[in-house]
Amino acid sequence: MRVLITGGAGFLGSHLCDYLLERGHEVICMDNLITGSTANIAHLAGHERFLFIKHDVTNYIFIEGQLDAVLHFASPASPIDYLEYPIQTLKVGALGTHKALGLAKDKKARFLLASTSEVYGDPLVHPQREDYWGNVNPIGPRGVYDEAKRFAEAMTMAYHRAHGVDTRIARIFNTYGPRMRLNDGRVVPNFIAQALRGEPLTVFGDGSQTRSFCYVSDLIEGIYRLLESDVTEPVNLGNPEEMSILEFAHKIIALSGSRSSVVLVQPQDARVRDDPKMRRPDITRARTLLGWQPQVSLEEGLRRTIEWFRTRI
């Protein structure tokens, strides 16, 4: 296949570039580098089947020649990013999705949207199934990301129904691994950086809020299986193994060999407004329709991630 990946220099996008190239596909990576980095794709420079284009996908996208698939991963994805870039986050979810879908329609290419578990908001249903409509605050600080992705899903289905575009929607739950930004504000890089520096791990609130963490190689495998399938309805991709943030902090300390302590803090900033109290995917649809489920244990995934961060602290 000849594939365009928007946001291809980001954490997930760069791993997707690697995965597709390893399988013999041709990859066009597009990114405006607002949160992505050329460091994530530097090892691909000079690859005969890889092309990088610096471009903002909220503007018209021109790609010469045929395309078999458009994978739309462009978007700030951590609270610290979308609170700093609220307008850009809304624009890439709305205008960027529109431009990427228009390109897929023109090229008669398959389209895959990287959506998010954040479409469920602070859920009133647990675990979260794809038929749950969510509990989202559209005017809260996190609404710029939540609603951008909800709109992107609606736009994707509109193109599918009105124009017959062959679409896929992946609802991605917390994913971690090498190439996460050290300062991206998410819990995995935060805790690992603090542990490796010997600093206290700062847990917001009482630490009872839950998350589930999927290693990046498992997530990318799920994305590819979804792309290759004929499943047009949204599919949750994530690890259903759930744990509290307090438990997670102690696990990071143990696996890193750190002597750090854990401190509970009560931040007053927008990062934790409307923060989901629970997050765990129901992956029945992915298991049944894609034959997919995570293979990398949390301990093994965290060991790999900690070792990667250890060389960068």
Q: How far is residue 185 from each of residues 66, 76, 290, measured CA to CA in Å?
A: 38, 12, 32
- Residue 21: Cβ within 10 Å count: 18
Q: Which one, of 277, 249, 248, 276, lies nearest residue 261 by Cα?
A: 249
Q: Which of 145, 159, 215, 224 is catalytic?
A: 145
Concatenating the DSSP letter of every residue in the chain gives: -EEEEETTTSHHHHHHHHHHHHTT-EEEEEE--SS--GGGTGGGTT-TTEEEEE--TTS-----S--SEEEE--S--SHHHHHHSHHHHHHIIIIIHHHHHHHHHHHT-EEEEEEEGGGGBS-SSSSBPTT---B--TTSTTHHHHHHHHHHHHHHHHHHHHH---EEEEEE--EE-TT--TTS--HHHHHHHHHHHTPPEEEETTS--EEE-EEHHHHHHHHHHHHHS---S-EEES---EEEHHHHHHHHHHHHT----EEEE---SGGGTT--S---B--HHIIIII-----S-HHHHHHHHHHHHHTT-
Query: How many other CB atoms sit within 10 Å of the CB of residue 113?
Result: 25
Whether 145 is catalytic is: yes
> Where do we find the tokens 């996908």?
57
**Contact call for residues 160 and 168 (beta carbons, < 8 A):** no
Distance of alpha carbon 15 from alpha carbon 216, whole angstroms? 8
Active-site residue set: 145
